[in-house]
Structure 1
Amino acid sequence: MLPEGDTDPEGLMCTAYQNTDGSRVMVIINYSDTDRISQIAGNDN
C-alpha cells in the first residue's frame, strides 16, 4: 500500500486504446530513474 496516493514512483504505468479508425495505441510511462522496458512485441490480429 502506498501511503501518499496510488502512483508507484519506481514502476511503469501502461494503458492501451483502440482508435475509431481501428489503429491501436499503447502508452507506457516509466516512473523509474532507469530503463525498464527492453522489448515490446505485438501483432495485428
Structure 2
Amino acid sequence: MPHASSQAPQPPQSSSPRLHGAAVVRPAETNPHAGTTADAFRTV
C-alpha cells in the first residue's frame, strides 16, 4: 500500500495510518482512545 505510506510518514504499519484516518473522521465511538482528538477536530 504505497498510498498509505505516502500519506503518513510513519513506520511500516498499514494499521497505523488507516486507524488514524478513521479516528479523525469518526467520533470516539470507534476509537475511545481518540475521543479527545475527535472532539478537538470536530470543534475545529
Q: Which has the higher contact order (CA 8 A, sep 6+)?
A: 1
TM-score (norm. length: structure 1): 0.23
TM-score (norm. length: structure 2): 0.23
- Which structure shows the bigger proportion of residues in helix conformation? 2
- Which structure shows the bigger proportion of residues in strand conformation? 1
